[in-house]
Amino acid sequence: MKRSMSSTSFGDEKPVVDVPSTIRAFSLSGSLSPLLLIPMAVPVLAALFAPDDILNLWSWLRRFTLWVQHLFPIVPLSAHAASTTYSQAALLTHCLTLVVIPIASLVWLWQGVVNYPRLLARSRARGGMSVAQYLMSSVVGVPLILGCVYFFMALPGDPSFAKGVTTHSRIGFAFLTLAALYGASMVLGTQLLVLRLFIDTNFRKGA
């Protein structure tokens, strides 16, 4: 346990507050857990190394992309993919991303349950979660990150200020894929955690 102590300008000491140590990032319950990184690696590796004609080479992968497009009809996955120089690999990557996001979200959800006592203690030591923080995490954060993922997959080409970043560069495409995976799964998977922290630090302070 790490302990912190503060005093007033007159030397009066405030009560000592126990602050639990941070969670190790690469542990199973950490933010860089293998349970998160291994599933996320699949779309990233596809973005980097999948052959340009992979859907022609592997018919079961073509059927997989058709299945995912049927599951998410609201997202025109082929729009951005068709604007790249590796359209089949891009389409496969987008489909894998949409499948991995809910899987990784469940990992974040599990981590939030397992780590909750420690996270609650740390949040209380920092003064709790404000209404503004809760609104930014839930009301703003969820539609913002999902909107970014949608536009990344559904709009052809790249923004004018970043032409070729994804359409002609697999490295740029892989980086944005990882950002979409990590950001979307974290925001979705931590909503229960954020809600519990907001309630327990504002309405159940003695619990």
For residues 148 and 1, what is the distance between their CA atoms, to the nearest angstrom? 39
- pLDDT-derived band at 184 (thresholds 50, 70, 90) equals very high
Mean pLDDT for all residues in the chain: 89
pLDDT for the residue 160: 80
This prediction has a pTM of: 0.86
Q: What is the mean pLDDT of residues 171-185?
A: 97
How does 102-117 read in b/e, with b if 16+ C-beta sit within 10 Å? ebbbebbbebbeebbe
Q: Give helix 59-71 / helix 87-114 axis angle, nearest 10°.
A: 60
- Mind listing the pLDDT tens digit for each residue in 48-99? 999 999 999 999 999 999 999 999 999 999 999 999 999 999 999 999 999 9
95, 42 in Cβ contact below 8 A?
no
pLDDT for the residue 108: 97
Q: What is the mean pLDDT of residues 145-172?
A: 92
The conformational region for residue 3 under phi > 0 = left, psi -120 to 50 = alpha, else beta, is beta
Q: Position 15: which residue type? A: P
- Mind listing the pLDDT tens digit for each residue in 131-152? 998 999 899 999 999 999 999 9
108, 125 in Cβ contact below 8 A?
no
Q: What is the mean pLDDT of residues 157-163?
A: 86
For residues 100 and 48, what is the distance between their CA atoms, to the nearest angstrom? 17
Q: Residue 12: is its pLDDT beyond 50?
A: no
pLDDT for the residue 4: 46
